[in-house]
Amino acid sequence: MVELLVVLAVMAIISGTVIIAMGPALRDARLRTGCRTIMAALNYARSHAVTERTDTRVIFANDGNGVHVEEITADDRGEDVIRPVTTPAGRFHRLPDNVTMLVVKNSSVNENWIRFTELGQAENALIRIDDNYGRTWTVVVDAITGRGEVLQAEDEE
């Protein structure tokens, strides 16, 4: 019986050590998943704009916790008609818990979207992705190519 209790105690100590060691890795995985979600939406919107020959935009949720894609076409009068893209890649995708984003663009209007032209171009933009632990990553969208790049910042703790 004593041997069994000793084995259980050793297992509890090892389990506790593993759980504590996994904490930073799980936080980092959430931040990476948030970046991947945003990059996937940006890449899909750019690709959709080029293949469908229509302007497309990535919409960032006002609460900073999600993203989806919309298509912009002109109606008979030449006015913009905005329709959500309902493919699996275009639907709303929520960011992981404890991860938020902030969109910063060069335009003077405070907008929560990035528009891609049928040539795949977009305006310069930065998307700042934060977690509750003080770490920040940034996605930079290049205006000419419309491609995004993830920049990993140092921990701010």
pLDDT at 33 over 80: yes
pLDDT at 156 over 50: no
Mean of all residue pLDDT scores within the chain: 88
- Amino acid at site 75: D
Q: What is the mean pLDDT of residues 85-110?
A: 84
pLDDT at 123 over 90: no
Cross-sheet strand order for the sheet of 99-105: 99-105, 125-131, 136-141, 148-152
Which domains can be identified in the chain, with CATH numbers? 2-152 (3.55.40.10)
In what helix (H) or strand (E) does residue 1 lie, and over which residues does it extend? none
pLDDT of residue 107: 63
Structure-token match 């920040």, residue found: 136
Q: 131 with 109: CB under 8 angstroms?
A: no
3 state SS of 5 = helix
How far apart are the C-alpha atoms of 115 and 93, rounded to whole Å?
18
Structure token pair of residue 17: 């050590």
Q: Any bridge partners for residue 137, and if so which? A: 129, 152
- pLDDT tens for 56-79 read 999 999 888 899 999 998 888 888
How far apart are the C-alpha atoms of 72 and 84, rounded to whole Å?
9
pLDDT of residue 109: 57
Structure-token match 């050793």, residue found: 10
- Amino acid at site 73: T
How far apart are the C-alpha atoms of 143 and 124, rounded to whole Å?
5
Structure-token match 């632990």, residue found: 133
